[in-house]
Amino acid sequence: MLQLRGTLTALATPFRQDGSIDWASLRRLVEFQIAAGVEGLVPAGSTGESATLDFQEKCELIARVVEWAAGRVPVIAGTGTNDTRTTVALTREAQRLGADAALVVCPYYNKPTQQGLYEHFRAVAEAVELPIVLYNVPGRTAVNMTAETQLRLAEECPTIVATKEASGNLEQVMEILRSAPPHFAVLAGDDSLALPIIACGGAGVVSVIANYAPKLFGECIRAALEGRWERARELHYRLFPLMRLNFIESNPIPVKAVLAMMGLIEEVYRLPLTPLQPQHRALLEHAVREAGLLEHVSA
């Protein structure tokens, strides 16, 4: 069974000015990630603006990232929606297209009960052979999947292999870590909490900041996993201001702004997301320069 560990980048989705997906820039971003040594790629997640991608766009996005990754790193496809039938259909497509696993977010807007969450994820797991990563992000879904529900799924569904825990609740994360079965990995869903979660037994992180700092952040996570805590803390605090600024406006607005500063993508969003406000852009660019990530860009 697939074991997920290290830095898995939640890929941004580049767009052209006409709103279509910029495939050339996406391929460049994929190569940038792999060259920097990340341990996995996550297309069509929250950072990839999945809420504004239609079914066919998601399928093509997954197919192309799988093709370009070419087995060098696992591809964990974002397939979760607020509808169980659609989630099952997209997860089946991800399996057919060669993804290594599926990242399935808690259904948003519906506000299901814990039993509803259990039934949703069980239905997805039973419909495919693909390994499943739970994605708990109550700040976006309006519902928190409790440690009890996540552990129940991990125990009863052997193809549910990990959780991306973005509740921000370290006590909940520790409860999962304390009782998780051996096959079930806990991945941080917040870059700023990756270090403490790994210290408590986590296996890595699904990362936003790795879009533009894959080498530095990847080294931070590897150092932590290897018990080299002084180096891990050094890199964590070097990048910590950026971890916070990545959410000064809704993700992925700041991340795409930085990628554009680096010349990797055009800074284009799909409504209802809009470009970064000027006062925030100045703060972000200063922090990126302080971290040494824009040394090749003219002032």
171 lies in some domain:
yes
* CATH, residue 82: 3.20.20.70
Residue 16 structure tokens: 């052209």
274 lies in some domain:
no
214 lies in some domain:
yes
| End-to-end Cα separation, the chain, in angstroms | 48
Q: Which of 292, 47, 76 is nearest to 187 (CA)?
A: 76
271 lies in some domain:
no
Q: Which residues are catalytic?
A: 135, 164
Q: Is the pLDDT score of 294 beyond 70?
A: yes
pLDDT (tens digit, 9 = 90+) per residue, 201-231?
999 999 999 999 999 999 999 999 999 999 9
Q: What are the beta bridge partners of residue 206?
A: 8
- Residue 248: strand, helix, or coil: coil
Rounded mean pLDDT of 127-131? 98
Instruction: Give the integer Cα–Cα distance in Å for 243 and 213.
Output: 11
The angle, 0 to 180 degrees and rounded to 10, between the axes of the packed helices 214-225 and 23-36 is 40
287 lies in some domain:
no
pLDDT (tens digit, 9 = 90+) per residue, 63-108?
999 999 999 999 999 999 999 999 999 999 999 999 999 999 999 9
Q: Give me the phi and psi of 135, to 5 degrees please.
A: -135, 105
| Count of domains for the chain | 1
Cα separation values, 121 from 71, 142, 153, Å: 27, 17, 8
> Tokens 């290897």 — which residue?
226
Residue 182 structure tokens: 């051996």
33 lies in some domain:
yes
Q: Are 257 and 275 in contact (CB under 8 A)?
A: yes
Residue 297 binned pLDDT confidence (cut-offs 50, 70, 90)? very low
260 lies in some domain:
no
Classify residue 21 by its DSSP letter: B
- Residue 15: strand, helix, or coil: strand
279 lies in some domain:
no
Angle (CA) 122 126 130, round 5°: 105
Rg of the chain over Cα atoms, rounded to whole angstroms, equals: 18
Residue 295 binned pLDDT confidence (cut-offs 50, 70, 90)? low
Residues spanned by the domain of 163: 6-231
Please state whether 160 falls in left (phi above 0), alpha (psi between -120 and 50) or beta.
beta
Please report how many Cα atoms fall inside a 13 Å half-sphere around the Cα of residue 109, on the Cβ side.
6
CB atoms within 10 A of CB 109: 10
Residue 103 structure tokens: 């990242």
Q: Is the pLDDT score of 298 beyond 60?
A: no
